[in-house]
Amino acid sequence: MTIAFWCVLGAILLPYVTVGIAKWSRDYDNAAPRDWLATRTGAARRAHSAHLNHFESLPGFAAAVIVAHLAGAAQGWADGLALLYLALRIGYTAAYVGNRPALRSVLWLGALACVIGLFVAAAATP
């Protein structure tokens, strides 16, 4: 199992961490979680938004890792880009919850660049 594949698992778990942050409250209503989340404001609302964005980002990242692997891309590059993607997505979460929109956008773009980089690494494989 490669480091890049382990990073896919990490990316799969990120949305659950962020929704946990969003739901961290004494008044959380597990009987109607979606209704309850829809009423949140502030950091909880931003954590829920990060949760949704992690799900949006996941398919492209997982596909990029698999394509890089199947194409025989240099494993060091694939692992490095996957680790960087995961680090950027964690930073993205912190920036989102911490209400740092400009930083959040830069981190989002960096993670997208990692996904593109994985496809480029696959394409560059002889």
Give which of 82, 86, 12 is closest to 51, Cα–Cα.
12
Q: What is the mean pLDDT of residues 54-64?
A: 98
Distances (CA, A) of 123 to 2, 82, 120: 19, 16, 5
Cβ(28)–Cβ(36) below 8 Å: yes
3-123 is a CATH 3.30.70.3270 domain: no
pLDDT at 71: 98
- 68 pLDDT above the threshold of 90: yes
Q: What is the mean pLDDT of residues 105-119?
A: 98
Say what percent of the chain tops pLDDT 70: 100
From the number of C-beta atoms within 10 Å of its C-beta (0-12, 13-18, 19+), residue 102 rates as exposed
Domain boundaries, the chain: 3-123
